[in-house]
Structure 1
Amino acid sequence: MASTSSPQEDFLLLLLSDSNLPTGGFHFSAGLESTTKHGFLPKQTSPLAPSALEPFLVASLRAHARSTLAFVASAHSISSSFVSSPSSPSSPSSSSTLSDLVDLDELYESMTSNHVTRRGSKTQGTGMLTLWQRGMRSPAYLQLEGEAGEMEKRKEAIMDGLRAFTRDGTMVGHMPVCWGVLCGVLSLSLDRTLHLHLFLHARSILSSSVRLNQTGPYHSQSLLLHTAQPLIDKEVEFYHRRPGMGGVRVGGISRVQGEQDEEDEAEEEGREGGPAGTWPLGEILQGRHDVMHSRMFNT
């Protein structure tokens, strides 16, 4: 990525990419376990052949980007605008900001096609809110004053409000929305927020693959560097060419071997921006996770 970052932003990236955080890998396989059990993941034919996991990684990462980045970006914009705005009559109120985030969360809930994805997204999303409350908010003993103190109060109004809403059932608390809010109140740039969101999804898949004994830790690092990293850059760039929440569409790949041909890609370029479903087969297989006789992961 061409964008630069400050030392503070670099430090936040290190904190948020910690594998101990509730972002998946230990409990969520993003449908990999179900895809394997149902026989849709090809076996490795030769050590010299491309990884059998690579088609799944490409298709899943692409589908995740097209369905969630618009929600992450919208939540980031809503929360960062409120936190950074000075206290004035024209500034957005905490109640209107929370209402916008609840509406965004409801839209993601209605667009998520299977209960397994919704369950995992809710668990990880509420985990992000807990992470801020217990590990990211400013300790009381620091006693921030002036503009820093006012900004911290606005952060608390948003994060504590969302946490209360998830507890009383006002909102579900999906991962893309809560992740965008968390990064917005921490003043992480949008580019870094989107990039890290996709990185964590790719790492979760590869961590799950290691736990399923499909690949080794060194091979998973190779896939993360040589397969996932170029695709993440491409998807973030693609989002910036088609930003916003302008439309909902259901797109076309229906096989594990994810990439569409050039004609399909050209057709997509002309479509209105917004979240989209691009991998129906992956949705079906992940939705069948709960019918397996034995399961290692929750999704």
Structure 2
Amino acid sequence: MDPWTLLQLADSALPTGGFAHSGGLEAALQLGRCGGPEGLARFVDEALWSAGSAALPFVSAAHAEPARFAALDLRCDASLPSAVQNRASRLQGQAFLRAAAAVRPERVARLGAEAERGGTPGHHAPVFGAVLGLLGAEPGVARSLFLFQTARGVLSAAVRLGAAGPLEVQGLLALARRTGEAVSAATAGRAPEEAASTSPLLDLWQAHQDRLYSRLFRS
């Protein structure tokens, strides 16, 4: 995969809709379950381990075999019973697919047509893996980029929620690298059949999003 395309897909300006989601951080803050730099750092670590156990198996499988995308997408759909999480995954996956097709239509457009034709939900993890696989990214690069965007999404939401400043967030994002590397190594060989949620509190915060009286994010 050429470095230019990789940088473009990693760019926060890529219109994937991630800015509309906090990954449960907004609910956690309002419920008083996350406060200060240490609390925010713990939340990011929790989000990374959760993504590693529940989503990375689908990223890896779709990356290795993009032709299995439809079956993996349906399995991913079944693994997300929470309405809030399921909706967020669909919205971000479909947006990432459209954005990637605009960047490299000759490689990705067919995947979008296949998803539309098959009526699959287009969840973020299998879409991400299949796109990176079609574009020739190394497996480790695909996993790292997925985890990086997970951490960056949470921390970007923290800035807009007033929980941290931009410079403070960059420091936390740099520190999250160690957790991201540990998560990627620990889950590298995990199959989609082994995907599981390992953070019940994070799941509850994400599910609580629709119950907030006032909210800035969709999830």
Q: TM-score, normalised by structure 2?
A: 0.93
Report percent identity of matched pairs.
29
Task: Indicate conservation of the 8 Å contact 1:121/1:175, yes or no.
Answer: yes
The residue matched to 1:129 in structure 2 has which SS? helix
1:18 aligns with: 11
List alignment gaps of at least 5 residues for structure 1: 1-7, 45-49, 80-96, 139-151, 248-273
Distance 1:25 1:156, change over 3 A: closer
Number of aligned residue pairs = 219
* Residue 279 (structure 1) aligns with: 199
| Cα contact 2:18–2:92 (8 A) shared by 1 | no
User: Which structure has the larger Rg?
Assistant: 1
Counterpart of 1:104 (choices 72, 78, 85) is 72
SS of 1:53's partner is helix
State the secondary structure of the residue aligned to 2:27: helix
Q: Deviations over 1:3-51 (max 9, x none)?
A: xxxxx53222211111112445520100000111112113x3xxxxx53
Among residues 207, 212, 215, which one is paired with 1:295 in the alignment? Answer: 215
Match of 2:183 in 1: 235
For the structure 1 residues 23 and 65, does the alpha-carbon distance in structure 2 shift closer, same or farther, using more than 3 Å as the test?
farther
TM score, norm. by length of structure 1:
0.69
| Cα RMSD after superposing both structures | 1.7
Residues 1:122 and 2:90 are matched in the alignment: yes
- 1:72 equivalent in structure 2: 59
Distance 1:217 1:135 in 2: 28
1:138-177 equivalence runs, <5 A: 138=106, 156-165=109-118, 170-177=119-126
Cα distance in structure 2, aligned partners of 1:156 and 1:74: 20
Compared with structure 1, are the counterparts of its residues 24 and 219 closer, same or farther at alpha carbon in structure 2 (3 Å cutoff)? farther
Counterpart residue identity of residue 201, structure 1: T
The answer to whether residue 27 in structure 2 is matched with residue 34 in structure 1 is yes
CA offsets 1:201-248 (integer angstroms, 9 cap, x no match): 00000000000011001010000102x1001111111123x4323x4x
Which residue of 2 is the match for residue 62 of structure 1? 49
CA distance in 2, matches of 1:202, 1:23: 15
**Secondary structure of 2:215 counterpart:** coil
Counterpart for residue 130 of structure 2: 181
The 5-angstrom pairing of residues 244-263 of structure 1 reads 244-245=191-192, 247=193
Tell me what 1:220 maps to: 169
- More helix, by proportion: 2
